[in-house]
Copies of this chain bind each other. A is one copy, B any other.
Amino acid sequence: MEKKILAIVGLGHIGGSLAASLKAAKAPWHLRGADRRRRDVDYALRRGLIDEASSSPAEAAAGADLVLLATPVGAIRTLLDELSPRLAAGQVVTDVGSTKASIVAHAASVLSGGVAFVGGHPVAGTERAGVEAAVEGLFEGRRCVLTPTDSTPPRALELVAGLWGAVGAEVSFVSPESHDRLFARLSHLPNLAAYALVNAVAASVSPAELAFGGGALRDFTRVTQSPPALWRDVCLENRGEILEALAELGRELERVRESVAQGDGAALESFFQRAGEVRGTQWRR
């Protein structure tokens, strides 16, 4: 079987782990890698994660069947601008950004007709970063959301779905807008709340006193170890939905604040009960 060419632009934790996982699965892809940091490309080549090192995104993309943009969210639109004049009809571009609507819309506006874009979001975030943290099997059993639109060619969607399927991901399809509405609530909001919580606590608790905290604060705030630029970019790209999600959280916090202020035990109990039931139906741990 002839190998197709996959150009991975951005050899960080996600790009590197995808390469490692494709190699481990002996998937029929010839892997090219490019990254702003030359030493990460060299590392990936040396470790056998990629077959070929490219010196630029354009060089990696030239003639590739599939170009995967695995850079931080904030760099994807610029990369699309940069690559669009170099891509030829029949090539497919995809990404791994954790916001989708603005990226998909931008791709539609800058890529020429014959070049297909399929928005993608492998839900496998960890707080680790960098190609040296690349992990085989990172996507095994994890969800990968693809966000086709009415104009996405079925052939392009199949190609990208096949890539993620090859590394064991469970592929789902939703519209870019639904993706952003969902992930504003399921991911962006909890992360923002964790950052806000740490900042709120730090305002009145000294670092030494933090050591008194039990498991709740520690677990709750683990996510704050992500690179700050990541959440900055997500906030800027998914602004509307995040603002709505923050308003929804504000309403619930105001509700519990009122019940506390009034000493309304029954209202408090039903507030906690309701959340426990919703959460308990979804996850056992």
Q: Spell out A's residues near B (CB within 8 Å).
A: 123-126, 143, 145, 172, 174, 181-183, 185-187, 189-205, 207, 209-226, 228-229, 231-232, 235-236, 239, 242-253, 255-257, 259-261, 263, 265, 268-276, 278-283, 285
Other-chain residue from B143, B211, B246 in contact with A282 (beta carbon distance below 8 A): B211
Q: Given A207-B278, A253-B193 in contact, is the A185-B201 Cβ separation under 8 Å?
A: yes
Other-chain residue from B194, B225, B253, B271 in contact with A280 (beta carbon distance below 8 A): B225
Min CB–CB distance A224 → chain B (angstroms): 5
Complex CA gap A244/B261 in Å reads 10
User: What is the total number of copies of this protein in its complex?
Assistant: 2
Q: Given A197-B190, A199-B252, A265-B236 in contact, is the A276-B225 Cβ separation under 8 Å?
A: yes
Which B residues are CB-close (under 8 A) to A222? Answer: 219, 279, 283, 285
How would you classify the secondary structure of chain A's contact residues: helix, strand, loop or mixed? helix
Complex CA gap A251/B201 in Å reads 11
Which B residues are CB-close (under 8 A) to A187? Answer: 213-214, 216-217
Other-chain residue from B199, B260, B265 in contact with A274 (beta carbon distance below 8 A): B199
Complex CA gap A198/B252 in Å reads 9
**Is B218 within 8 A of A283, CB to CB?**
yes
The winner among A125, A174, A274 for most chain B CB atoms within 10 A is: A274
**Is A199 within 8 A of B278, CB to CB?**
yes
Which B residues are CB-close (under 8 A) to A221? Answer: 190, 275, 279, 283
**Is B273 within 8 A of A215, CB to CB?**
no
**Is B245 within 8 A of A200, CB to CB?**
yes
CB-nearest residue of chain B to A203: B248
**Is B224 within 8 A of A272, CB to CB?**
yes
CB-nearest residue of chain B to A178: B209
Which B residues are CB-close (under 8 A) to A123? Answer: 212, 214
**Is B205 within 8 A of A186, CB to CB?**
yes
**Is B232 within 8 A of A195, CB to CB?**
no
CB-nearest residue of chain B to A208: B282
Min CB–CB distance A123 → chain B (angstroms): 4
Complex CA gap A143/B210 in Å reads 12
Which B residues are CB-close (under 8 A) to A231? Answer: 268, 272
